[in-house]
Amino acid sequence: MSSSVLYDAPGPKARIRNRIFSVVGALAVLGIVVYAVLRLDAKGQFEPEMWNIFNNAGVRTNIRDGVLTTLKVFALAAVLSLALGALLAVGRLSDHKPVRWFATGFIELFRAVPLLITIYSLWLLFLTYKSELGFSGDGTAFWALVIGLTIYNGSVQAEVLRAGINAVPKGQREAAYALGMSKTQVMVTVLIPQAVRAMLPTIISQLVVTLKDTSLGFVITYEELLYSLQQMAGNIVVNDENPYFPMIVVGGVIYIAMCMALSALATWIERRGRRTKTGIPVADAAQPLAAGDAVDLTTTDAPGGKTD
């Protein structure tokens, strides 16, 4: 662990000092944790009855249903957003000005607006024209969530793909044209496959964002995991207290496990991609995560490069 350049391999004196700091640091963190635990205990959040609710079949079914609806929304939104992303990326690179402008405008608008507002507006729109659009039951909330996620993440995926397509060496495109391929053929058979391969880690990292954003269904009262957890926590009363803490612990663990599984996949693919030498650099797995879910245009244009 002495590989960092920021500090020397500790000598005897520094080792003692580090050990003191270690103990003090650990005690400080521990102190906060212990205080939180004591306070929660005083509120009765650690009573066995409080945690016994998870032995209830109804509670377990609710959580399972919540996970399933979350995954259902995620799966649909992921597939649709990738399709939309490919479409928009091709649109942005089109030779026809109106197509290019439309795609650019669409991407810019929906990337700039908070996803929550897009979803909420769609929801109200669907509610207003419920009968005309043929929605029934919670279909309005479901489709508002799915379509909102699709529009927003599709716009982001489009930028990711575009960066990937631009990163493909120019010779590839020229060679394909020289073979007499049409524009569509060049795009579909030569450029997009290589772009997807180079950008796969970034694409999957953006899927993690999509997965996390399914929890926005909570705001439009769609019954995904977070909403059902909150409903249960609000309705169940144990010893005069609501089991918010147990519910949030369980929900948090489920969310973190799902997201980390996806992130691990991205990292694995990144490491695999580094092994082969194709001349197209494979993107960092954590890129869109590190940059939040909004990627500045100028930074996506040249991955790793300076702006302007």
Partner 1 sequence: MNVLLDHLPEFREGFLGTLAITAASAVLALVLGILIAGFRVSPIPPLRAFGTAWVTLLRNTPLTLLFLIAFFVIPQIFFSGTSPFVLAMGALGCYTSSFVCEAVRSGINTVPLGQAEAARSLGMTFSQTLRMIVLPQATRTVLPPLSSIFIALTKNSAIAGAFSVTELFSVSKLLSDKGYAIGWIFLWIALAYLVITFTISGAFRLLERRLEVAR
CA distances from 172 to 189, 278, 283 (A): 11, 12, 19
Distance from C-alpha of 177 to C-alpha of 170, rounded to nearest angstrom? 11
Q: Considering the rule CB under 8 A, would residue 238 count as an interface residue with partner 1?
A: no
Per the document, the length of the chain is 308
Give the contact letters, 146-185, x = binds to partner 1 (CB under 8 A), - = no: ----------------------------------------
Give yes or no for residue 39 binding partner 1 (CB under 8 A).
Answer: yes
Pick the binder of partner 1 from 58, 260, 278, 279 (CB under 8 A). 260
3-state helix, strand, coil in the chain (%, to 5): 75, 0, 25
Please name the amino acid found at residue 70: T
Token output for 137: 């039951």
Part in contact with partner 1 (CB under 8 A); list of ranges 130-138, 161-169, 266-274, 286-294: 286-294
Q: Which is nearer to partner 1, 172 or 230 (CB)?
A: 230
Residue 34 is a binding residue for partner 1 (CB under 8 A): no
- Residues contacting 215, CB < 8 A, separation 6+: 70, 224, 225, 226, 255
Question: Counting contacts by CB under 8 A, is residue 216 touching partner 1?
Answer: yes
DSSP state of 300: H
Q: Is 251 a binder of partner 1 (CB under 8 A)? A: yes
Our finding on whether 68 is near partner 1 (CB under 8 A) is no
Taking the CA of residue 303 as centre, how many other CA atoms within 13 Å lie in the half-sphere pointing to its CB? 23
The verdict on 265 binding partner 1 (CB under 8 A) reads no
Kindly tell me which residue out of 218, 222, 266, 303 binds partner 1, with binding defined by CB under 8 A. Answer: 218
Picking from 306, 308, 288, the residue whose alpha carbon sits closest to that of residue 155 is: 288
Three state DSSP letters for 200-253: HHHHHHHHHHHHHHHHHHHCCCCCCHHHHHHHHHHHCCECCECCHHHHHHHHHH
Check binding of 120 to partner 1 (CB under 8 A). Answer: yes
Q: Which of 83, 189, 256, 274 binds partner 1 (CB under 8 A)?
A: 256
73 touching partner 1, by CB under 8 A: no
Pick the stretch among 57-65, 90-98, 114-122, 182-190 that binds partner 1 (CB under 8 A): 114-122
Judged by the rule CB under 8 A, the positions of this chain that interact with partner 1 are: 1, 4-8, 10, 14, 18, 21-22, 25-26, 29, 35-36, 39-40, 43, 45, 109, 112-118, 120-121, 124-125, 128, 208, 212-216, 218-219, 226, 230, 233, 242, 244-245, 248, 251-252, 255-256, 259-260, 263, 286, 289-296, 298-299, 306-308
